[in-house]
Amino acid sequence: MDGTPAPGATTLGTQPSGTATSTRAAAGSFIGGVVEWYDFFIYGTAAALVLNDVFFPDADPAAGTLLALATFGIAYLARPVGGIVFGHIGDRMGRRAALVATLMLMGVATFLIGVLPTHAAIGVWAPAILVVLRLAQGLAAGGELGGASALAVEHAPPGRRGFFGAFAMSGSSAGIALGSGVFALVLTLPEDQFLAWGWRVPFLLSALVVVVGFVIRRKVPEPEVFVDAVADPAAGPAATAPVQARLPLLGVLRTYARPALVAVVVYSAQVIAFYLVTVYSVSYARANLDVSVPALVVSAVTLTTLANIAMNLVWGALSDRVGRRPVLIGGAIVQAVFLFAFFAVLPSGNFLLILAAMLGTLSFGQAAIVGVVPAYFSEMFGTTVRVTGIGLGVGVASIVGGFTPLVAAAVAGAGGGWVLMSSIAAGVCVAACGAVLLLRETRDLDITRIGEDSRG
C-alpha cells in the first residue's frame, strides 16, 4: 500500500441515506455502546473493589486484587476473536445480525455474573465460571464497535460521517456514566450489605438495557452500501479475490494491513489512558490514599462520562469540518499532558481538582480520539471487510488496554509509580500521532468506493 486508507480510494461522496434512517442507525449504535460499556465498566469497578473478597478470599489482599484485575483483563484476550467472528457475520450476513447477536451475548453473560454464587458457596467453581462469563463478555464486546461504527457511518448523510459515527462512542460514555452512577449508589450501602448483595445490583439491571437495545436494533435496516456490495459481485475488494467475501479476515490482512496497524496504535493510545484513569486509579486510591478518594474518583467518572456523551459528538462533528487527523493528533497530545495532572492531584482528595484533571484527560483528550474513531476506522476499510477490519484493530488494541490496570498494579507493587505508567501512556500517544500521519486524510473519501481500484 502507498499510505492511503485503501488502494484506489476516491473522494467526494458518501452513501446516501434518509434522515430518519440515519437517526435510527445512530440510535442503534448508541444503545449498543450503552450496553457494552455499562457491562464492562461495572465489571472493572467490581474487580477493583469487591471481586477479590467474594471470589478470591483465600489470597492475601494484594494478590486477590491482582487476580480480580486479571479476570478483568482476560476478557480482552477474547476481543480480537469476537471482532473476527462477529466481523465475519457482519460482513457476510449483515450489520444488524451481528449487532443483535453481540447485544444478547453481552446481556446474558452480565446477568449471569450478577447471580453467580460466591467462592463461599461453591468453592473454586465460582472463579472458574466467572472467567468463562468474562470471556463471553469479551467476545461480545469484540464485535460491537465494528458493527456499530459501520452501521452508523454507512447510513450517515453526506459530509456528516464523523458526527453520526460518534453516536456509537457517545453510547459508550452513557453506559459508563450509567454504570458508575449505579455503583456510586450501591457504594453508599454499609460494607457488609455491599459485599453480600449490593455489588450484584448493577449486573442484574443490565437486563433492562438489553431489552431496550434489542427493540431498537431490530428496526434498523441494512445500509444500502452493504446491500449493494453483496448484490453486485463486481463491487469492492471481493471482485479481485472472491476469498475476501468468504473470509473477510483474509481480505483485511491482504489489502488493508497498514490501516489495521494504524487502528491498533490509535486505539491503544486512548484505551491505556482511559483504564489508568477509570479503573486503576480506583484500586490505587483504595490502597494508598484516604478512604474517601475511591468514591470521589467514581463520582468524577460519572460526571466526566456524562459530559462525554456530548463531547464525543462535538469532536466527531469537528472532524467533519477540519478533518480526522487534526482532531486525533490534538486529542492524543492533550490526553498525554492531563494524565500526569490527574495522578498528581489525586492524593489531594480535592474533588474539584480531581474532576478538572479527569475532564482534561477524558473529555478534551480521550474523547477527541474516540469520537472520531468510528468514522475514521470505517473510512479505512472496504465495505465487504469493514466490520472485520474495525473489530480486528480495536480488539488487538483492547488487549493492551484490558491488561493496563493489572500491569499498573504490578509496576506499583515492584516499586514503580504513577509517573512511570503515565510516561508509558504518553509514549503511546506520541506513537499514535505518528501512525495517523502514515495515512492520508479520510474525511472526503467516497466510502462506497474504498478498495474498488484494487481489482486487477
Highest mean pLDDT among 131-145, 186-200, 256-270, 281-295: 256-270
Query: What pLDDT does 334 receive?
Result: 97
One DSSP character per residue, 247-292 reads: -HHHHHHHH-HHHHHHHHHHHHHHHHHHHIIIIIHHHHHHHHS-TT
Do the Cβ atoms of 166 and 374 come closer than 8 Å? yes
* Of residues 84 and 124, more confidently modeled: 84
C-alpha cell belonging to residue 50? 469487591
Note the pLDDT of residue 44.
75
pLDDT at site 8: 45
Of 195-209, 221-235, 246-260, 308-322, give the lowest mean pLDDT range.
221-235
Is residue 215 exposed (0-12), middle (13-18) or buried (19+ Cβ within 10 Å)? exposed
Q: Which of 155-164, 294-303, 397-406 has the highest mean pLDDT?
A: 155-164
* pLDDT average, residue stretch 1-12: 47
Instruction: Give the mean pLDDT of 215-232.
Output: 81
**Strand pairing partners for 445?**
11
Least Cα distance to 19 among 145, 158, 147 occurs for 158
Q: What is the pTM of this model?
A: 0.85
Output the pLDDT for position 5.
Answer: 53
Domain covering 19-454: architecture: Up-down Bundle (1.20)
Q: Cβ–Cβ contacts within 10 Å for residue 62, how many?
A: 13
Confidence of residue 415 (pLDDT cuts 50, 70, 90): low
